[in-house]
Structure 1
Amino acid sequence: MSNIELVKEKLQLKILEIGKKLVKNYVPRWVIFSIDLFLCLIAANSAYFFVSTLQPGGMSFFNFKIELLALLLIQSLYFFVFKSYFGIVRYSSFKDAIKQLQVIACCVFTLLVINHIDYYLFEHKIIVDAGVFIYGFIAYSLLFFFRIGVKRVYELINISRKPLDKAYILGTSVSDVAMAEGLISQNSGFFNVVGFINVDEKKTNNRIFNLPIFDINQLKRFNNYAKSIIVSDSKLKELQHSSNTIITELLELKIKIYKLPQLQDWNHTDFKDLKDLKEINIEDLLQRNPIKLNNKKLFNKYQNKTILVTGAAGSIGSEIVRQLINFNPKLILLVDQAETPLHDLKLELKKNHPTLKFESVIANVRDKSRIEQIFDRFSPQIVFHGAAYKHVPMMEANPLESLSVNFKGTKNLADLSIKHNIERFVFVSTDKAVNPTNIMGATKRAAELYIQSLANKLDNNVLFITTRFGNVLGSNGSVIPHFTKQIKENGPVTVTHPDITRFFMTIDEACQLVLEAGAMGKGGEIYVFDMGSPIKIIDLAHHMIRLTGLIPNEDIKIEFTGLRPGEKLYEELLADKETTLPTHHEKIMIAKATHNFDTSKTTLLLELASNIKANNINLSLNCLKDLVPEYSNPSLESNPVCIIKKAQ
């Protein structure tokens, strides 16, 4: 390569580098306005020049006469009215072309009206009528081609040198076509759009942007053509809430599905989302209707309050903290015994919410004296109690620990809440507390009963509220992280039983409902959340394997290991003897219990706490069985009956 060619190549690379730096920043609006006005100046002089060539006086230009100033002022007025210079030029679309046409048409019409008024009064015109039309044509052409030119230069600068992956657009609705237009015009750097997928059963031979429209059966016949599909967030939600199975069929074809979130205003967006394409995950496939919160009520309950959250470093507790931030609490107390997760949450809050007032406190809910120190020092007004042991098999092997944390820890918090006269106490329970078959569920049910016993006391001013929901997607120790780990290790994916089902809810949804229920409670209620339909765990495993582009039982084996101790096939949200009452929130119901808190029941609660404190496993378990008679567990000894101390 010669020196001249080398210098030429370096110069081209330098220009390309400068161009890329320029296009990363947006040009100020006043610059676009100035350019548009300059183009109109050229159009006006050009129109006057063309008109003058037809007159005896010969060729001439406007120069800077008063008529030219009047024309530019009128044009500027319509620039301001229509805000045609507000859009980002590199993302100009058909809407921008229409807006420019409106601007010029209004200006032309106004000039014609002024011309006739001026001629009627003074026998004078700014420019002859023919010149007005010529001006409009030239001005619109210049404005239009300026935007097209900038857009094309931007595309050339950003064009990828590597071959792009071929991709389809899922759907043919107006929003789907708009998404495709943006991706095509953007040269997204990732995908080359090669067609559309029709989600309806009706066949069509039409084309969009000269690209073919396929149906799912055609993809099955030539599934090597493209291996990616792009779907908008709204389309994905629409398909999930219908009976359409196209997503599952696409996953079975090993086609990767990418989600483009929240494209709302294609004319004014900065199109950042076009480069934010993400593969869909299992949470996307299990989407539910968005939560509508009574924010006014929540602000009234939580604003400017000192709020204590136990288990704050856990998946549920940390999300409750994040949700509470929206309601401007005075102080949030983060209480947890897990040092490292609590430290991580502290760093997150300092980074994302530097003005938030919070305290990180290492403490165990079993240690009543330590918890009382926290109450004495900070005087919390509201308590969200989420600290608990929740792993069913682990708790079956360590029943006293489950009792100590889930029941005794809850009792400590509740007793101290009464002593310090807090406003409301929100207890986070679980669907496993309904007709429990494991120690974890039974201990949570016992805690529910203790909370209700306190709520029934006439001399109690604390509002005790219980919330009950099922499994949370992606929470610590849940099935989804477990399956993800197994898939990364090439299997096998272990499922306990082919018919096992569970209710699922997203973390943010569950925590929003906890806050809503906590605000609406009058005391003593057990709030049950609408968990939707139960999901078969085997279907969940199939979906997660397909999302990685693999085929269940071909690429990744699924094995059934049998139900674990204390595990049941189907979870319930309501006990058999309970009914539900509606609330003002469609996803929150009240479980109306029929329990009678007589002296023996209250004594059982106290006896259970005493046996836990004495580390007496057998007596504790038998007390638990008497307290929660619906608790059935084959591993529980059946011969001794809890000895109840009679009231003196």
Structure 2
Amino acid sequence: MNIIQSAKRISFKIIKRMVRNYVPRSLIFFIDVSISILSAQFTFFLISSVGSGQLKFIHLNWEFLSLVSIQILFFLIFKSYSGIVRYTGFKDSIKQLQTTISTVAALILINELIYSIYQVKILVNGGAIIYGFIAFSMLFLFRVIVKRVYQLIHSDSSSTKAYLLGTSLTDVAIAESIMSDARTNFDIVGFISEVTKLKRTRILTLPILTLEQLEHQKIRGGSSVIVSSQKLRELAIADSNILNQLLELNLKIFKLPELQDWNGESISSEIRKVNLEDLLQRTPIKLQREKLRAIYKDKVILVTGAAGSIGSDIVRQLIRFEPKKILMLDQAETPLHEMSLELESKYPNLHFEKIIANVRNLKRLESIFEDHQPEIVFHGAAYKHVPMMEANSIEALDVNFIGTKNLTDLAIKHKISRFLFVSTDKAVNPTNIMGASKRSAEIYLQSVARDKSITTRFITTRFGNVLGSNGSVIPHFKRQIENFGPVTVTHPDITRYFMTIDEACQLVLEAGAMGNGGEIYVFDMGKPVKIFDLAKQMIRLSGFIPGKDIEIVFTGLRPGEKLYEELLADKENTLPTHHQKILIAKASYDFDAEKLILIENLHYQIANNNEVKSIEVLKKLVPEFIPLTEEERQKNAI
């Protein structure tokens, strides 16, 4: 009894070690040999019970040793003990089957050979087949038990029941991988078809459901949906509404990243929650990498606003083109410090400088240009919050206009090769100080670009809202959802253009490389998005139901805020470029002596902190700047 209990304890310890750690292949080999010995004993026992009727439990004769030796030989040939037991799958069962069939076939051949010479056999041919069945069953059962124990130890009792979106071969392969993953937290309960008419109703014995069936099914088998990155792209390009429909059914959506982005060894560990950027993604951008490398490689590049969301990503995008040095300029100390720590950690060979400075300080900027001699400038530093700038208009003009003018003048003086200005869609027919201040900066850049004696190429890029950028609506909504609402939207019909940070910064770099000087590049932002719909999507992505778990409240348009924004990204107002997502805004501004005087006068009034006079001059310099009246704001709020 003590021997049996000791054997149980040893077996349990071995399995426990196997399910927690990788074990030596020699131990797996030893266990497989032990299983084959046990199988051989069972086989000889069965044969003895049928043949002579005298039961013989232990066989240690030459026949037994021959059988086990043949089996060991094929273990070594096929290396069936080399797989990781906890991840046993279809391929492992095939290898075990090959090993066992080869052993049985060899045993029968040797049997016949010995019989033809000595008139004896190791065991009857039927016994060899019986041994094959027993050995394969026990070898595979051992692996299944270890895998199941591992799953029980590591599994969460509340594993997520999930559907897989799609029924293609790739989707089925993903489902099989998740189902065979020993460490999965997902239990695949079915497939969701993108078509309404089904040719078959089951895959891998699991049901296939259409969206209509899922909608009318009162009790669903799953609470989540897993979708591949490839499928996400296909749905986005096709402008499909499937993901929104799934969200409206209160299903949580998870994605499986691209294979090259995997960090772990388990497919389930790579599954992530779908975010807003995934729902709004578009066709991937194709950059002219060799052309960009030729322009940015081995250059000293100054990036202003480098600690901000746009500036920091421009820095990250530039790294791949191997610049000589990146000058990161910002007035925000802590974010710049955090950015520098990130670069030191991820890119230890990158040469960069962190510079605390304000773009309004001309003398400070002058010293930076003299000390570091930048060759290319990306100017992203700006004040951008519309309501705040309405209340602090002189600050908006000081940073957005004078700051840009300071850098522009220094770029000319120090013969910078390229100057890339990051503008905004709010500069188009502006109704607020922020947009008008950015438009005045655009005008100044275009005015100096007209001078043929100036060698610097001044290029302006104009795009809409960037998802997740500092101070944007996305982080604001996220904070409100974390506090369980309410989520505040200014108007039910307000729309905005959106672009991911990565997409925007890639296009900025591309535009910076293609510009000849004086152009205003407009990015294809896709279709405008209703902020109300955006709020609902974010609430659903967070696992709540809009209007039930978290309320959405309309607060009315803020000072200077438009219902709809304009990019001028249409054929009537733009010209195409070689890049399908970048257009050139047609020139619509007439420069004359009076306009140039207005530019100087605006600079003078801002420098003298004269807010009233500054705005008067701004309206003359930017005649399309027509602030919304209080009556118009009230009307839009209804």
TM-score over 0.5 for the alignment? yes
The worse-fitting range, judged by mean Cα deviation, of 250-259 and 288-297 is 250-259
486 and 103 in structure 1: CA distance in 2 versus 1, 3 angstrom threshold = same
Q: Secondary structure at the match of 2:21?
A: helix
Q: C-alpha separation between the residues in 2 aligned to 1:534 and 1:226? A: 33
CA distance in structure 2 between the aligned counterparts of 1:263 and 1:151, rounded to whole angstroms: 27
User: Residue type matched to 1:164 in 2?
Assistant: S
Which secondary structure does the structure 2 equivalent of 1:272 belong to? coil
Match of 1:584 among 562, 578, 588: 578
Letter in 1 for 2:402: K
Instruction: Provide the alpha-carbon RMSD of the alignment.
Output: 4.3
Instruction: Report the Cα distance in structure 1 between the residues aligned to 2:288 and 2:515, rounded to whole angstroms.
Output: 13
1:253 to 249, 253, 274: 249
Residue equivalent to 1:612: 606
Q: How does 1:224-235 map to 2 (within 5 A)?
A: 224-235=220-231
In structure 2, the partner of 1:553 is 547
The match for 2:238 is 242
Alignment partner, residue 482 of structure 1 = 476
Question: Given the alignment of the two structures, is residue 153 of structure 1 paired with residue 146 of structure 2, yes or no?
Answer: yes
Residue 499 of structure 1 corresponds to 493
The aligned residue for residue 199 of structure 1 is 194
CA contact (8 A) 1:363 1:371 kept: yes
Separation in 1 of the partners of 2:625 and 2:341? 42
In structure 2, the CA distance between the partners of 1:433 and 1:100, relative to structure 1 (3 Å rule), is farther
What aligned pairs does 1:539-578 form with structure 2 within 5 A after superposition? 539-574=533-568
5+ residue gaps, structure 1, are 47-57, 106-134, 637-648
Q: CA deviation at 1:431?
A: 0.4
Q: Which TM-score applies when normalising by structure 2?
A: 0.80
Structure 2 contact 466–499 (Cα < 8 Å) conserved: yes
CA distance in 1, matches of 2:83, 2:18: 20
Distance, in Å, in 2 between the alignment partners of 1:188 and 1:239 is 29
Q: Which amino acid in 2 is paired with 1:356? A: L
Deviation at 1:297, TM superposition (A): 0.7
Amino acid of the residue matched to residue 276 of structure 2?
Answer: I
* Segment of structure 1 superposing worse, 215-224 or 501-510: 215-224
State yes or no: 1:455 paired with 2:449.
Answer: yes
Q: Relative to structure 1, is the Cα distance of residues 231 and 429 closer, same or farther in structure 2, using a 3 angstrom cutoff?
A: same
For 1:413 and 1:233, how far apart are their aligned partners in 2?
42
Q: Secondary structure at the match of 1:364?
A: coil
Q: Which residue of 1 aligns with 2:162?
A: 167
Deviations 1:151-199 (A, max 9, x none): 7634532432624232222221111111110111114441221222222
Match of 1:181 among 148, 172, 176: 176
What residue in structure 1 maps to residue 112 of structure 2? none
Q: Distance in 1 between matches of 2:534 and 2:577?
A: 31
Do the aligned partners of residues 578 and 394 (structure 1) sit closer, same or farther apart at CA in structure 2, a change above 3 Å counting?
Answer: farther
Distance 1:356-1:102 versus aligned 2 partners, 3 A rule: farther
1:588-624 residue CA offsets vs partner (Å, 9 max, x unmatched)? 1111213232211112111111111111112211111
> Could you tell me whether the CA contact under 8 Å between 1:403 and 1:612 is conserved in 2?
yes
Map 1:415-434 to 2 at 5 A.
415-434=409-428
CA distance, structure 2, for counterparts of residue 235 and residue 150 of structure 1 = 34
Report if aligned partners of 2:161, 2:186 keep a CA contact under 8 Å in 1.
yes
Q: How far does the alpha carbon of each residue in 1:336-394 deviate from its partner, in whole angstroms, 9 at most, with x for none?
A: 00111111111111111111111111100000000111111110111000000000000
The answer for the alignment partner of 2:124 in structure 1 is: none
Q: Name the counterpart of 1:111.
A: none
Conservation of the 8 A alpha-carbon contact between 1:91 and 1:151: no
Look up the SS of the partner of 1:615 in the other structure.
Answer: coil
Bigger Cα displacement from structure 2, 5-14 vs 313-322? 5-14
Q: Match for residue 507 of structure 2?
A: 513
Q: Does 1:292 align with 2:291?
A: no
Rounded to whole Å, the distance in 2 between the matches of 1:307 and 1:410 is 17
**More off after superposition, 254-263 vs 315-324:** 254-263
User: 1:331: how far off?
Assistant: 0.8
2:210 pairs with 1:215? yes
> For the Cα contact (< 8 Å) 1:306–1:331, is it kept in 2?
yes
Q: Please tell me whether the aligned partners of residues 573 and 586 of structure 2 are also in contact (alpha carbons under 8 angstroms).
A: yes
When residues 272 and 457 of structure 1 are mapped into structure 2, their CA distance, relative to the original with a 3 A threshold, is farther
Cα distance between partner residues in 1 of 2:388 and 2:319: 33
CA separation in 1, counterparts of 2:539 and 2:279? Answer: 13
**Any idea what the Cα deviations from partners look like across 1:404-460, whole Å, max 9, x if unmatched?**
000000000010011111111000000000111101000101101111111111110
Aligned to 2:21: 22
Structure 1 SS opposite 2:459: strand
State the alpha-carbon separation in 1 of the partners of residues 94 and 319 from structure 2: 44
Unaligned runs of 5+ in 2: 41-61, 102-127, 631-638
Of the structure 1 ranges 206-215 and 618-627, higher mean CA displacement relative to structure 2 is found in 206-215
Once the two structures are superposed, residues 232-290 of structure 1 have per-residue CA deviations (whole angstroms, 9 ceiling, x without a partner) of 12222222333543322221222211111124799xx9643421322212111111111
Instruction: Quote the Cα distance in structure 2 between the aligned partners of 1:316 and 1:531.
Output: 16
Determine the C-alpha separation between the residues in 2 that align with 1:495 and 1:445: 27
Query: Is 2:625 the partner of 1:626?
Result: no
CA offsets per residue over residues 556-607 of structure 1, 9 Å max, x none?
Answer: 2212111111111111112999721211111111112132322111121111
Code of the residue aligned with 1:156 in structure 2: it is: V
Q: Separation in 2 of the partners of 1:156 and 1:618?
A: 76
Instruction: Please identify, of 449-458 and 223-232, the stretch whose mean Cα deviation from structure 2 is larger.
Output: 223-232
How much identity, in percent, do the aligned residues show? 56
Structure 1 equivalent of residue 465 of structure 2? 471
Cα deviation, residue 19, structure 1? 2.1
Distance 1:212 1:606 in 2: 72
Report SS of the residue matched to 1:377.
helix
Kept after mapping to 2: 8 A contact 1:302/1:324: yes
Displacement of 1:521 after TM fit? 1.1
Within 2, Cα distance between the matches of 1:63 and 1:276?
43
Contact preservation (8 Å) 1:365, 1:405: yes
State the secondary structure of the residue aligned to 1:289: coil
Residue type at the aligned position of 2:192:
I
CA distance in structure 2 between the partners assigned to 1:567 and 1:152 by the alignment: 64
Match of 2:324 in 1: 330
What's the counterpart of residue 588 of structure 2? 594
Evaluate the alpha carbon distance shift between residue 8 and residue 620 of structure 1 in structure 2; reply closer, same or farther with a 3 A threshold: farther
Matches within 5 A, 1:339-418: 339-418=333-412
Change (3 A) 1:430 1:215: same
Q: Distance in 1 between matches of 2:419 and 2:82?
A: 51
> Does the residue aligned with 1:416 lie in a helix, a strand or coil?
helix
Q: Which residue of 2 aligns with 1:311?
A: 305
Checking the alignment, whether the CA contact within 8 Å between 1:251 and 1:549 is kept in structure 2 is no
User: Matches of 1:62 and 1:548 in 2, distance apart?
Assistant: 61
Where 2:195 maps in the other structure, the secondary structure is: coil
Question: Could you tell me which amino acid in structure 1 is paired with residue 438 of structure 2?
Answer: K
SS at match of 2:377: strand
| CA contact 2:569–2:583 (8 Å) conserved in 1 | no
- 1:215-235: CA deviation from partner (whole Å, max 9, x where unpaired): 233333234532122221222
- Code of the residue aligned with 2:218 in structure 1: it is F
Q: What TM-score, normalized to structure 1?
A: 0.79
Q: Partners of 1:152 and 1:524 in 2: how far apart?
A: 71
